[in-house]
Chain A
């Protein structure tokens, strides 16, 4: 079946530190991969996506590369800010069916 596994949190970093949140997936076929971000009290917002192997999604300084050989889609940011504090969800879709990870909480301290 299809599933997504994220590194467990919570993650606490100092401002300007490097961020990596690991995500691996299991899927049949050729899924699209996504990272969503959820700020407190809000719904999920699409952060970035990649639709095929070796694609790199990027947005707001965040990046993730679709690695088919390692079935991974790790989220990275070179220098985090306090405003990046949120919960991050990795997800995959096969057509219009979505599978979400359990989320990784990130807190960035000044």
Chain B
């Protein structure tokens, strides 16, 4: 079974440029999460989807960040415009949910560097 796929693995951009990250969760997993992880810290939730619905986006900085999961499968997270402080690792995770359990399975992450 394929794991959570993320691309790109690394991205370097100049500040004020846009950037997008893509995530394909494990097949059949209805719940998808985007996290931000700063160096030496734990993951911080940005947004959680149940199928195509964003059910928790309270921590998403909506002035510059947006996300979508149009068909309830893969998802894209976008930053426009990027700021220096956005440099971090962006993690995607999925879980089956419901009676199958809520443990999360993580992708390898996208390391963003904003210069």
Interface residues of A (CB under 8 A from B): 32, 34, 36, 41-46, 49, 89, 91, 93, 95-98, 100-103, 105
Contact = CB atoms under 8 A, between A and B. Distances in A.
Contacts, number: 54
9 contacts: A42-B108, A42-B109, A43-B106, A43-B108, A46-B103, A46-B104, A97-B56, A98-B102, A103-B42
Contact of A44 (B6, B48, B91): B91
Interface centre among B4, B6, B42, B104, by most A CB within 10 Å?
Answer: B42
Contact of B4 (A34, A43, A98, A105): A43
Q: How large is the interface on B (under 10, 10 to 19, 20 to 34, 35 or more residues)?
A: 20 to 34
B28 interface: no
B42 A100 contact: yes
B50 interface: yes
A46 B91 CA distance: 14
A102 B41 contact: yes
Interface string B95-114: 10100001111111100000
Contacts of B93: 43-44
B61 interface: no
Contact of B43 (A41, A49, A96, A100): A100
Contact of B45 (A42, A89, A98, A102): A98
A103 B40 contact: yes
A52 to B, nearest CB: 13
Contacts of A41: 108
B24 interface: no
Contacts of A43: 4, 6, 91, 93, 106-109
Interface in B62-115: 91, 93, 95, 97, 102-109
B45 A44 contact: no
B100 to A, nearest CB: 11
